[in-house]
Structure 1
Amino acid sequence: MKTFRGVLYIVTAVFIIGVVYYLGLDGTTIISSPRSRYKEISNWILQREGAPGNSTISYIKTNGIETYLLSAVVRPRTDQTFQIILNSLDFTKGRGDFLCCLISETSLITIPANFQFIYRHLKFMPAITQTFYPAPYDATQYSCDVSKTDLGNPVTKATLALRSSCSNENKDYLSVVYPKRVSNGLAICAKVICGEEIGPARLTEWFEIQKLLGVDKIVLYDYKCPLSIQTIFQYYVAEGILDVVPFSLPGNPERGYTANNRVYPQFYHDEEITVMDCHERLSGYQYILVSNIEDILLPRQHLTVKDLLKNLSESHPQAGGFYFQVQYHVEEWGNDLEVPDSYFQQYLKSTKPTSQFLKYIYIPSRSQSPPDDRFKNISPFHEQYVEPSLATIHHYGKCPEGLKDCFPETMADKTVTKYQKMLLNNTRTVL
């Protein structure tokens, strides 16, 4: 009897794996598009009704199916070829039979879309486990592979179409983003800022300390922020350090980013789509820090993060990126100092550095795919773990969800105070 049950379990498992493979749940396309040459239609005219297609106007819905496109970003491959990467929350889970619709001047160019990447919120046998715990929309990427020799003019707008029909309405197209190339540039992907979760003064101080640390560019996603926060955004956009992407969540209107309205497992994809998009927008920078507005990377022996990275890169020339331990400054412990017009200078008490939730800076030219909780190196590059004696990430705020102990043995860390005088002056000037 036991033998029969064992055989039955094996047959059942093989059957499930076979079905999963047949349905393409490993992320491959189940309906392959024809690998034809470019199809070009000249004198293509977009209708101007509705909002103009623009990469900063949140999502564009693909005609005929609930796949939502966030952005179209150019990724160079060689001197003669490049890819246009389309970041999406995808109802088809990476299996859509899509066509790339690309507009160059007044010409429409159509080519089959290639499935590029899908985020897995479950890491263990994801092709099977996510079948039983799926998200309605998966964070995915499709690519449109383009040869410069076949184009007379740069591609300015792009979208996906289901099967063979390209829209002629301007609102259905994204403006194509061409990332800026910045040698030795340091950028922060600051993810989503939601509603009134942070005040203008604290947000200003965070921007100002990032400037002191040598950050060149910050990209963040504005999800229902009030006018007071958007005014701060406008100031730093005008300075050139900040790019803001207006952001929304398609599909279920009741879900969001606060602890009260997160919908799992969709929330993981709603977070990851911004990291994927940010990875492409900032790909021209040498270093990218994946962070949020509660985090500050503080070097101990250097004044700026750029000085730290120069030292780390010289010491580890084959590093594809650097992982940092985290110290938590928890508001519930109370402030140590009363410093008017400063949030970060007041909370010196912290946990000891912990590797429970590592954060990282990675080098895009040495990364194989969009990073999520970890980045993936291209051989022969490798990950490098930074000693806490050199630098740590300092996280400020409420006790983080998942932290093993909210009241552990604490220490007083005064690293942030070396920026106090200049930081206070700069913050007060802006406010």
Structure 2
Amino acid sequence: MFSCKVPFQNRVPESVSLVVNPCDNATNNLRVIYNPAPLGKKKHFVMCVKALNFRQKADSSVRLVEWLEMHKILGADKIVIYEYQVHPNMSKVLEYYKSTGLLDVVKFSLPGYHANIPDFMSIFLRHRAAIQFLLELIQYNDCMYKHMYMYDFVVVVDVDEVILPLSTDTWYDLIYKKTIPKVANVKPPPAGFVVRNLIFADDKAELQDWYPDIPRYMYLLQNVQRNVNYTYPPGDGVKAFHNPQIVFALHNHLPRQCIGHPDGWCPLHDFDLKDVHMQHYCTGKEKDECKLHRGVNLSVDTSIWKYNDRLTEATGRSLREIGLL
């Protein structure tokens, strides 16, 4: 991340050039993206979601609809999803929600077998995890900077996660009515509000222990078995509501660097565990964190059922309009 102070006030540059040394001749000219809030009024929450890569995987379109409707209920004003490649049915879902104004989709690409970087694929295959992680960071920071003047908070989540309020019903009430008053006099102000992580098991199809009053396609509502304990240690696996006026660079879990804190430290506020947690659904049983077993390791947590009627109705309606039900 590079930063440069704008040499004049109340004016936004159209473009910038990057050079290696002072007084070098510029060989590039990069457009400045500046998206102010319409009429100067910000909305509350923009969600940033790393690139989907589902073409070779099972069709997750129905589950994606439920996930999008869940966050619409929670209060997401805009959801930005980056996309590598997806199943054709998922493309239908993305197009539908783009037409409603809830969703923006940003096409993203990985260098392929014919990349113009010599031997890139051999490098990519050896360092796949590190490269994909770096690309995720590019997506998250791109999303934050494009929307930093339009929304109060940037929320980074994956499509297998839901930040679920417990003592309130919406993110708005959680943040603006419950949490911000608590930190009104805290100095320096928090750059992010941090949510602890709980692992939820998704083995309904394996065990066939369905809840008969809930449609089987309602993945979030059907999977209510979770790990007894929060992810340990406390900073592991968390997600956060980020203040883009303080955060300079985003990590996928926490702010990576904050304005006014050159050592990289970012002031944070941890939510009270009785107010909110993040439900992280395990889809890859090969992961250690997903090797959960019914009994002492899991407990039933039906907190999400308070949205049962609204979520089931909204999901069914959208599935029918898309033609998936």
Q: Residue 274 of structure 1 is aligned with which of 136, 139, 150?
A: 139
CA distance in 2, matches of 1:400, 1:114: 45
| Cα deviation digits, residues 361-390 of structure 1 (max 9, x gap) | 111112133334421344597200112211
Q: Is the 1:188–1:289 contact (alpha carbons within 8 Å) kept by the matching residues of 2?
A: yes
Q: Is the 1:330–1:396 contact (alpha carbons within 8 Å) kept by the matching residues of 2?
A: yes
| Cα deviation digits, residues 281-331 of structure 1 (max 9, x gap) | 221210111111111111111110111011111111322211111111122
Structure 2 stretches of 5 or more lacking a match? 320-325
Q: Which residue does 2:167 correspond to in 1?
A: 301
CA distance in 2, matches of 1:430, 1:404: 30
Query: 2:190 aligned with 1:316, yes or no?
Result: no
CA distance in 1, matches of 2:108, 2:96: 19
C-alpha deviation, 1:413, in angstroms: 0.9
Q: Residue 227 of structure 2 is aligned with which of 342, 351, 367?
A: 351
CA distance in 2, matches of 1:113, 1:81: 22
| Cα deviation digits, residues 228-283 of structure 1 (max 9, x gap) | 11111111111111110011013445898xxx997143222122211121121221
Fraction of identical pairs, as percent:
21
Q: Is the 1:209–1:423 contact (alpha carbons within 8 Å) kept by the matching residues of 2?
A: yes
Q: Which residue does 1:248 correspond to in 2?
A: 109
Q: Is the 1:299–1:305 contact (alpha carbons within 8 Å) kept by the matching residues of 2?
A: yes
Larger RCO (CA within 8 A; separation ≥ 6): 2
CA distance in 1, matches of 2:6, 2:210: 49
CA distance in 1, matches of 2:50, 2:196: 19
Query: 2:59 aligned with 1:179, yes or no?
Result: no
Q: Is the 2:51–2:81 contact (alpha carbons within 8 Å) kept by the matching residues of 1?
A: yes
Change (3 A) 1:420 1:372: closer
CA distance in 1, matches of 2:134, 2:97: 28
Q: Residue 276 of structure 2 is aligned with which of 391, 395, 398?
A: 391
Structure with the larger helix share: 2
Residue pairs, 1:17-416, within 5 angstroms: 79-82=9-12, 102=15, 111-113=17-19, 164-165=26-27, 177-181=33-37, 183-196=42-55, 197=57, 199-250=60-111, 251=115, 252=120, 263-284=128-149, 285-310=151-176, 311-317=178-184, 318-332=189-203, 334=207, 337-338=211-212, 339-340=214-215, 341-352=217-228, 353-354=230-231, 355=234, 356-375=236-255, 376-379=257-260, 382-398=267-283, 399=285, 401=287, 403=289, 406-407=292-293, 409-416=297-304
- Does the residue aligned with 1:344 lie in a helix, a strand or coil? helix
**Amino acid across the alignment from 2:94:** F
| Cα deviation digits, residues 156-202 of structure 1 (max 9, x gap) | xxxxxx96445xxxxxx987543242524111111111124451111
Q: Is the 1:219–1:244 contact (alpha carbons within 8 Å) kept by the matching residues of 2?
A: yes
C-alpha deviation, 1:405, in angstroms: 6.1
- Does the residue aligned with 1:319 lie in a helix, a strand or coil? coil
Q: Is the 2:17–2:26 contact (alpha carbons within 8 Å) kept by the matching residues of 1?
A: no
Structure with the larger strand share: 1
Q: Which residue does 2:323 correspond to in 1?
A: none
CA distance in 2, matches of 1:194, 1:234: 16
Q: Is the 2:201–2:290 contact (alpha carbons within 8 Å) kept by the matching residues of 1?
A: no
- Does the residue aligned with 1:265 lie in a helix, a strand or coil? helix
Q: Tell me which moved more, 399-408 or 300-309.
A: 399-408
Change (3 A) 1:426 1:276: same
- Does the residue aligned with 1:365 lie in a helix, a strand or coil? coil
Q: Which residue does 1:418 correspond to in 2?
A: 306
Q: How many residues were matched structurally?
A: 281
CA distance in 1, matches of 2:301, 2:154: 25
C-alpha deviation, 1:411, in angstroms: 1.5
Whichever of the two has the greater Rg, that structure is 1
CA distance in 2, matches of 1:222, 1:326: 25
CA distance in 1, matches of 2:171, 2:286: 25
Q: What is the TM-score normalised by the length of structure 2?
A: 0.75
CA distance in 2, matches of 1:230, 1:405: 31
Structure 1 stretches of 5 or more lacking a match? 1-26, 29-34, 36-74, 85-101, 103-109, 116-161, 167-172
| Cα deviation digits, residues 185-224 of structure 1 (max 9, x gap) | 1111111111244511110011101010011011111111
CA distance in 1, matches of 2:223, 2:7: 46
Q: Tell me which moved more, 367-376 or 348-357.
A: 367-376
- Does the residue aligned with 2:310 lie in a helix, a strand or coil? helix
Q: What is the TM-score normalised by the length of structure 1?
A: 0.58
Change (3 A) 1:111 1:270: closer
